[in-house]
Every structure is written in structure tokens, then in C-alpha cells.
Amino acid sequence: MNVNLTLIINMIFFAAFVFFCMKFVWPHIMAAIEERQNKIAEGLAASERSQKDLELAQEKAAEILREAKGQSAELVDSAKKRHTEIVDSAKDDARAEADKIKSGAQAEIEQEVNRAREQLRSKVATLAVAGAEKVIERNIDEAANNDMFDKLVKDL
């Protein structure tokens, strides 16, 4: 245990190592650590922010969905209404058309009946005259007979 020059030399080593550590080691490692700490803090803040954003977006989406549902219900309602309207008006149109066709047909039928009746009437008159001519087998005053048969035909 004798103190000698070793002490002085090692003090110089000591000073050199401390200086080296102070200049080239400590600041760089501390800077790296602090930068990482900042990055982690930033990352956490960002994740919190994005979570909040996500919540807002979800709320917004839910609202939009609700609105869309309301709108679609309205649309369906109005479509239903329109549908019944169209069906109703179509029904009315059809009915009117049918009535028109029916009345036209009836008028035609009536006409045909009348015409047939006229023909029948004239044919019956001729037949009756011919029949009577055969029965009586004598020539009678055609004019007087025609009057009588016309009267008969009218009564038919």
C-alpha cells in the first residue's frame, strides 16, 4: 500500500474517460432516449385522438343510417300511396272504357235487332200475302190487302 506515480497517471485516465463520456457518450444516448420518449408520447396522443375520431365517425355513421332509414320509409310510404293511386285511376279508366264499350255494343245490338225486326216484318208481310194468295187462290185488290197487312204487321 504505497502511493506512487500510478495515482497521477490514473487521474489523467479518469479525466480522459469522463471527458470522453461527457462529449461522445452521454449526450447521444440521452438524446436517443428522450427522442424515443417523445415518440411514444406522440404515438399515445395520436392513438387517443384517432380513437376519438373513430367514436365521432361512428356516431356520424349511426346518424346517417338513421336518416337513411327514415328517408327510405318515407319513400316506401309515398310509393305505396302512388301505387294505390295508380291502381285506382286505372280501375276508373277501365271501368269507363268498359262502360263505353258496353254501351256501344248495346247500341249496335239494338240496331241489329231493329234491322232484323224490319226485315222480319217485311218478310212476314210478303209471306202472309203469299200464303193468303195461295189459300184464297183468287186475285183480290192488292192495295186494299196491303193496307190490311200493313196494319197487321204493325201490330206484330
Partner 1 sequence: MASSENLDSVGYIKHHLQNLQVCKTDEGWVWNQCQEAGFWAINVDSLLFAFLLGALFCFSFWRVAKNAKIENPGKWQSMVEMVVEFVDKSVKDTFHGRNPLIAPLALTIFVWVVLMNMMDWIPVDLLPWVAEQTNVHVLGNEPHTSYLKFLPTADVNITFSLSIGVFLLILFYSIKVKGIGGFIGELTLHPFSSKNKFVQVLLIPVNLLMETIGLIAKPISLGLRLFGNLYAAELLFILIAILMSTGIGGLVGGFISYMGWAIFHILVIPLQAFIFMMLTIVYLSQAHEDH
Q: Report the interface residues with partner 1, using CB under 8 A.
A: 1-11, 13-15, 17-18, 20-22, 24-33, 35-36, 39
Q: What minimum distance in Å lies between the beta carbon of 36 and partner 1? A: 5
**Residue 108, amino acid:** E
Q: What minimum distance in Å lies between the beta carbon of 23 and partner 1? A: 8
Which is closer to partner 1, CB of 23 or CB of 83?
23
Which is closer to partner 1, CB of 9 or CB of 79?
9
Q: Which three cell numbers stand for residue 52?
A: 376519438
Q: What minimum distance in Å lies between the beta carbon of 46 and partner 1? A: 15
Q: What minimum distance in Å lies between the beta carbon of 44 and partner 1? A: 16
CA distance 146 to 143: 5
Whether the Cβ atoms of residue 156 and residue 119 lie closer than 8 Å to each other: no
Kindly report the number of other CB atoms within 10 A of residue 149's CB atom. Answer: 17
Which is closer to partner 1, CB of 14 or CB of 107?
14
CA 39 to chain CA centroid, Å, is 53
Q: Which three cell numbers stand for residue 71?
A: 328517408
Which is closer to partner 1, CB of 1 or CB of 143?
1
Q: Which three cell numbers stand for residue 95?
A: 271501368
